[in-house]
Structure 1
């Protein structure tokens, strides 16, 4: 007498052989229709990948997520948050100082610029140009402000002044020669929608051998 293996047991057995499956090979291996296999997956519990357009599946019991809520099997990425959209929002919101598109791409091991732009346009996240980077912040204004404050205290090597921003700094100083570095940073960040820190401005002056007393005679910074 042949014993029929329950679909759920067969499913678990297949995932024991390989932790990740695409739906068509999985359905073929189980000899069930795709809708039936999706139902079996839902009954047991599963994650779909945030990479490969969500085309890979794994059982909920399999991933060992890191502190950032991510788990990778080779180049296949899974997230505790779910989809790529939800994962981006979760990572950006949890970040103490926001994240650039480059940082997010490296973390997720996939291109995500287009999704980030769509999220920003829909108001799901905030975006601001800082130095040469577009940095993304949480949608919540209070959280975003906290992230910006943390970011301005950091000396991040990837956030450097472009010549255009350096000119803005010097032009603002010429208009307000009595302003401190902190006051300059606040004025520029508020009026130009470009976040800079007092430390960055001080480094700019040091880099070009400038002193405050010299700057009223310096109309622009050479764009070398």
Structure 2
């Protein structure tokens, strides 16, 4: 069953939407404010996000911007009572895949959701290559010498952030911000753990430690 994050602060509406989504075959995780949404998105991988714009503890646009800044390409369908054209444009410009305006029919909501997921699966995105390691951001997959390598959500984000900056040293603090979006309290050795796991799965030579500075993939630029 595909996992979806529903971000909605109206409990009654959230209950109705969640019931319709479960009926449509989704496993639904719920968040009622921007902070909870950011935490859920950092800690888990979802197939799609239904995102309200007007939220406590921040806005839906803040949540969306944080996702895209850390290369999270999960399809996002904005659900909003804001029917002004400028609001819709801001949401699309921030990285939303589509939007639906309240009030709406749940059948339309589910259809639009299925559509954005189909489009995301067919999205063409450049692959990132180094030696025999390939990252496909559209599929969120990693392989080495043609063999798929299974990575956890944070391992994948760590590798992607480094591959995007191949040849450059990325400071640990900067890497933490890219992986976590600057949200939450992070243990001091967390990134080091992910680096260790990546080396174990992909080879010791994949990531170079620049002592006192940070980490690097590939030859120095």
Do they fold alike, i.e. is TM over 0.5?
Answer: no
- TM-score between the two structures when normalised by the length of structure 2: 0.28
> Which structure would you say has the larger Rg?
1
Structure with bigger strand share is 2
- TM-score between the two structures when normalised by the length of structure 1: 0.27
